[in-house]
């Protein structure tokens, strides 16, 4: 039976959806830009600019970074483990889901190393009580700039009295070689590992000084929480329930948008763990995010714009409960206090859980 002349092809349907969404985004853009008073008021709040600057965290991999990341994966034996691993949940988990789980475990247990105070490079002293933290400094060596170091931490070994440094690198190729750091380095490197496999990932930033990520599961049709520092998969309530961490703002960051995902990381049963959002009026913050997102999405390729807007729509539908439903009473009870970092440091940050 022939299709009637009014039938649309898949490509035409895509074009209509794309054009409709771009029209709405441009309309939002125009409406916000025309409100000069709003734009003036927004400049009074540094936090808004801080949030918009988060877009710098989502940078596409270079070809060299992608190659180095893939080489690390191939050397890990992860693919073989996915094949050998028995997967009773295979009906709900795709091959990519299983691969991500294995990558998370490998990254935590074999690949990357957490640094509290860096051990002495002169005498090999690793005793944290015999290492003194000194005032840091700005990058000053060629290797610091090449590795995109944000700051240079300095330590003194109390055994040999030598002073040595720990550059906090951000360059992906450097991190794939040094393989050590704290949550920032862990997250940057793990995101690069996933992106090298063309897995859709977004950077998650928390105003209370922690970062993690999410990947989009095609099988489960949702964004899934990942924390490489903790080997945590799909445990969005880990921070509230396990760590006892109080939080205010949580943002998901991609090249084409920044979106507030705070609600999915707050345990509705623990209202005391929700800090007030008082760093900027919410209507101003959301207006500037809408403006920024509309500019980026309308500038993106059609394929990226369609994918990202579709998944953003899913975000808005699921924010009120999609992730929370995954965390049952039994899973939240098994969530542990923070595993990465020293006990004193973790306790000072309010992440050691509750007795």
Mean pLDDT of the chain: 91
**Lowest mean pLDDT segment, chosen from 21-25, 79-83, 261-265:** 79-83
pTM exceeding the 0.75 threshold for the entire prediction = yes
CA distance 14 to 81: 39
Q: Average pLDDT in the 243-261 region?
A: 96
Q: Average pLDDT in the 192-218 region?
A: 97
Catalytic one of 68, 227, 260, 315: 227
Q: Average pLDDT in the 30-58 region?
A: 94
Residue 25 in tokens? 């985004």
Task: Clarify whether 23 is annotated catalytic.
Answer: no
Task: Clarify whether 227 is annotated catalytic.
Answer: yes
Range(s) within the chain of domains with CATH label 3.10.620.30: 14-114+182-322+338-349
Q: What per-residue confidence (pLDDT) applies to 10?
A: 82
- The continuous run of DSSP H or E covering 315 comes out as helix 302-318
pLDDT band at 198; cut points 50, 70, 90: very high
Class of domain 14-114+182-322+338-349: alpha beta
pLDDT digits (tens, 9 = 90+) for 297-340: 999 999 999 999 999 988 877 654 444 444 444 455 578 899 99
Residue 7 has pLDDT above 90, yes or no: no
Catalytic one of 42, 97, 189, 210: 210
Using CA atoms, how far residue 218 sits from 93, 192, 230, 261, in Å, is: 10, 19, 24, 19
Range(s) within the chain of domains with CATH label 2.20.25.10: 116-181
pLDDT digits (tens, 9 = 90+) for 64-89: 999 999 999 999 999 999 976 655 55
β-strands 113-114, 180-181 pairing: parallel
Catalytic one of 42, 120, 157, 183: 183
Architecture of 116-181 per CATH?
Single Sheet (2.20)
Q: What per-residue confidence (pLDDT) applies to 251?
A: 97
Task: Clarify whether 183 is annotated catalytic.
Answer: yes
């Amino acid at each position: 039976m022939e299709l009637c002349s009014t039938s649309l092809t898949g490509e035409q349907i895509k074009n209509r959806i794309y054009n409709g969404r771009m029209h709405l985004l441009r309309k939002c853009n125009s409406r916000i830009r025309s409100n000069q008073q709003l734009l003036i008021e927004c400049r009074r709040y540094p936090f808004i600019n801080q949030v918009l600057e988060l877009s710098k965290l989502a940078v596409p991999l270079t070809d060299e970074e992608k190659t180095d990341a893939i080489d690390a994966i191939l050397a890990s034996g992860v693919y073989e483990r996915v094949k050998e691993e028995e997967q009773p949940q295979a009906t709900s988990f795709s091959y990519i889901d299983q691969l991500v789980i294995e990558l998370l475990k490998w990254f935590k247990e074999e690949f990357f190393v957490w640094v509290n105070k860096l051990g002495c490079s002169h005498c090999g002293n690793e005793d944290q009580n015999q290492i003194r933290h000194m005032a840091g400094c700005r990058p000053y060596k060629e290797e610091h700039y090449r590795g995109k170091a944000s700051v240079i931490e300095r330590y003194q070994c109390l055994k040999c009295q030598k002073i040595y440094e720990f550059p906090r690198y951000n360059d992906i190729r450097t991190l794939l070689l040094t393989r050590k750091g704290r949550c920032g380095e862990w997250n940057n490197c793990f995101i690069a590992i996933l992106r090298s496999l063309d897995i859709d990932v977004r950077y998650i930033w928390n105003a209370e000084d922690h970062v993690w990520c999410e990947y989009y599961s095609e099988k489960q049709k949702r964004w899934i929480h990942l924390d490489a520092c903790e080997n945590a998969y799909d445990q969005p309530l880990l921070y509230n329930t396990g760590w006892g961490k109080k939080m205010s703002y949580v943002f998901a960051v991609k090249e084409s948008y920044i979106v507030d995902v705070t609600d999915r990381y707050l345990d509705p049963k623990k209202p005391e763990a929700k800090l007030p959002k008082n760093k900027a009026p919410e209507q101003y913050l959301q207006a500037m995010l809408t403006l920024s997102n509309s500019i980026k999405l309308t500038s993106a390729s059609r394929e990226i714009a369609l994918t990202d807007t579709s998944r953003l729509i899913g975000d808005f539908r699921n924010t009120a409960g999609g992730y929370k439903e995954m965390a049952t009473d039994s899973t939240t009870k098994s969530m542990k206090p923070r595993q990465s970092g020293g006990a004193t440091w973790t306790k000072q940050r309010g992440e050691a859980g509750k007795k």
